A and B are shown apart, each in its own frame.
Chain A
Amino acid sequence: MSDSGDSDVAWTYYKDRPEWNDVTPVPEDEGPNLVVVIAHSEKFVDVYDYFRAVLQNNEKSERALHLTKDAVELNPANYTVWQYRRDLLKALGTDLRSELDYVELVIKNSPKNYQVWHHRRVLVEWLQDPSQELELTGDALMQDPKNYHAWQHRQWAIKTFGLYEKEMDFVDNLITDDVRNNSAWNQRYFIVNNHLGWSDLNVQREICYTLEKIKFIKNNESAWNYLKGVLIHDKRGLSGNAVVTSFCEELYKNKCRSPYLLAFIIDICDEAIKKGETNCLHNATRAVELCQALATKYDKIRSKYWNYMCEKFKKAQQEEENNKEKAANMDE
């Protein structure tokens, strides 16, 4: 937030306020070595000179509370001012509900500031009242659906107070708005993981949901990552879910060459090799082919990586062929 400086005409400096003339301002002591000096406005200097005085005197008063408001307005990232404000709220027995309203306003102006969200969290903890948190974070996420601070606060409130009930609807809406919203997919995982649980039924339902979204937009890393995340909870693994494997092969047959699809099939092959359960579709030879296709055609920016993966699979391919030979020799 920038310093409003001289723009507001009605501003009176603290040093010119009669009700403050009992306080001696404490200037910042920069010492003799001036580096990285900020050319603060006169207003900034004035407010912080009085803040230092109040802190030094340990003054707990309404006027001090008001002063902290001016101080955080000039710099909402000053964690010391926020902490002193909390001390004041406690000492004065201030109505914390009005403080909630106040910090909501500050959050609206500085939605990506760590200190304001921390202040909010402490207030909610004190009040043990999370009833406004979903709406507050919901509003912030309307402005920016990927605001990390808002998601962090939301997850904290949901987890601490068990507010899972309507969260799936919220996430559904966000994914419908933007199927590439990775934060929303992450939240989906959070809800299933903490609330709904990974029962066979839920795993299957999440898989169907995700496949629908992939059908809609195939080149979406967020959905593919979520699919892999869900399959962590499928006892049959990546390669054992027939719905998933046939979906992928169908896409492949229909000429889809999204790097995420090809990478996914490679991972299925990898798992099949590790489990010793390769088949005609999922084996080292296929993985080698796919890595080469990615390296040369479909994901050129990562060609070095796909070549690196390819080398790994070539080793496995060699073993596969050796085994085939052995089996053939035995048949003879």
Chain B
Amino acid sequence: MNHEENKIMAHRQHVKYFMRFLNILPSSLSSHDTTRVTIAYFSVSGLDVLGAISSVSLDLRTRIIEWIYRLQVHPDKNNGDMSMCGFQGSSTINIDLDPPNNHYRCGHLAMTYTGLCILLAMGDDLSRVNRKALVAGVKALQTEEGNFAATLSGCESDMRFVYCAACVSYILNDWSGFNIEKATDYIIKSIGYDYGIAQCPELESHGGTTFCALATLSLTNQLHKLSEQQVEGLKRWLLFRQVDGFQGRPNKPVDTCYSFWVGASLKILDMLQYSNYGANRRYVYETQDTVVGGFSKWPDTCTDPMHTYLGLAGLSLIGESGLLEIEPTLNITKRAYEHLKSLHAKWDNEDLHVL
């Protein structure tokens, strides 16, 4: 590949790339069948960061919004139980089920979070979101340990879903389903001897889970719970992840997505400006496919929507021109974030009227 040419953003190709994913995917992606909402999130947020949300036609926008709302799980008609509320990731199990199997049709925290992000990016006012029910759904998933499971029906619990639960609570402006003290405790217990943060206590520090943990502390206003030593240690650990691009763990290969995970973590700690933008930028561009669009994790490998979005988001963090600014904690554009803030103000007003 011509490396000179590859330093330029293939803007038009990336827009087309995301548009393709919003329409139809090949059968080789069958293993993403239950998490289609996340693919839609990467595509919609990707278009947003490219400043191309207006290239989504009104018809497609409506289709996406209606599709997301159809995946919302509502309270049990018979007993009002809300523990399974949230968004599903696809219509695979979007069927009516009688007890005792009705819990199989349940929300998934990552889908609820990314589903809400899609609605925000599309400019929806969240008026059809059953906020109370979603918050109850979040509450049902927090464990004794303080972390969260992804779903009611038989899923692991870890740092990823702590983050998703925090995002959902933040977006809905309601923390009654999220025990902040317990979650903070879990996060602090997951800090390693090298000051990075792991998926669970004592596991190896990891760039992705460090992001989840720091973003949660930021969204819950708990960053001050970290000691000075922990903060300085985290800064060091995160900055040491830079090789040219960023790696996720010491002595692992560099990967495009960590330009976001580690970059956003540094941004949250107000330290991103101490990293090397030039080398970071060069690496991410090396993973760009200028012909059909998209970014991959390594140069000359297969692109995917996740690495494409995170590559762009990582570039946006370091001020790449032609990209919209990213709100690092929620991982949506500032534009979508401002829209959320206006909704919060509206909800506050409505609450006042009720009083």
Which residues from chain A sit less than 8 Å from chain B, CB to CB?
1-3, 5, 26, 28-41, 44, 48, 52, 55-56, 58, 74-80, 82-84, 86, 114-115, 117-118, 121-122, 146, 148, 151-152, 155, 159, 180-183, 186, 189-190, 193-194, 220-222, 225-226, 228-229, 232, 263, 301-305, 308
Contact = CB atoms under 8 A, between A and B. Distances in A.
8 contacts: A35-B64, A38-B24, A39-B26, A56-B101, A75-B30, A117-B156, A155-B202, A159-B202
Given A30-B91, A83-B153, A182 B25 contact: no
Contacts of A86: 154
B97 interface: yes
Contacts of A3: 27-28, 30
B124 to A, nearest CB: 14
A146 B253 CA distance: 12
Contact of B66 (A1, A26, A33, A115): A33
Given A55-B101, A151-B204, A190-B202, A118 B26 contact: no
Interface stretch (B270-278, B296-304, B307-315, B331-339): B270-278
Interface stretch (B45-53, B192-200, B342-350): B192-200
Q: Give the top 5 A-B pairs by smallest Cβ distance, nearest first.
A: A229-B193, A83-B154, A33-B63, A225-B194, A186-B204
Contact of B203 (A80, A155, A303): A155
A228 B154 contact: no
Interface string B216-248: 000000000000000000011001101110000
Given A3-B27, A301-B276, A58 B193 contact: no
Nearest to A119: B154
Contacts of A118: 154-156
Given A37-B23, A186-B203, A190-B202, A82 B154 contact: yes
A155 B202 CA distance: 8
Contact of B32 (A38, A58, A186, A189): A38
Given A29-B94, A304-B273, A38 B194 contact: no
In this complex, the member of A32, A33, A37, A115 whose beta carbon has the largest number of chain B beta carbons within 10 angstroms is A33
Interface stretch (B33-41, B125-133, B170-178): B33-41
A75 B239 contact: no
Contact of A79 (B40, B63, B95, B154): B154
B101 A58 contact: yes
B328 to A, nearest CB: 19
Nearest to B106: A80
A31 B67 contact: yes
A118 B153 CA distance: 12
B92 interface: yes
B144 to A, nearest CB: 15
Contacts of A152: 199-200, 203
In this complex, the member of A40, A74, A75, A301 whose beta carbon has the largest number of chain B beta carbons within 10 angstroms is A301
B91 A28 contact: yes
B117 to A, nearest CB: 14
A179 to B, nearest CB: 9
Interface residues of B, number: 71
Contact of B63 (A34, A56, A183): A34
B249 interface: yes
A302 B92 contact: no
A76 B33 CA distance: 10
A320 B250 CA distance: 35
A182 B251 contact: yes
A220 B95 contact: no
A26 B95 contact: yes
A31 B70 contact: yes
Contacts of B151: 79
Contact of B276 (A148, A221, A302): A302
A78 B92 contact: yes
Given A114-B156, A148-B204, A229-B194, A44 B95 contact: no
Nearest to A2: B28
Contact of A77 (B35, B40, B202): B35
B97 A301 contact: no
Contacts of A225: 193-194, 250
B207 to A, nearest CB: 12
Contact of A37 (B24, B28, B34): B24
B22 interface: yes
Nearest to B251: A180
A32 B69 CA distance: 12
A75 B255 CA distance: 26
In this complex, the member of B66, B100, B104 whose beta carbon has the largest number of chain A beta carbons within 10 angstroms is B104
Contacts of B77: none
B227 to A, nearest CB: 13
A186 B199 CA distance: 13
A191 to B, nearest CB: 10
Interface in B161-192: 192
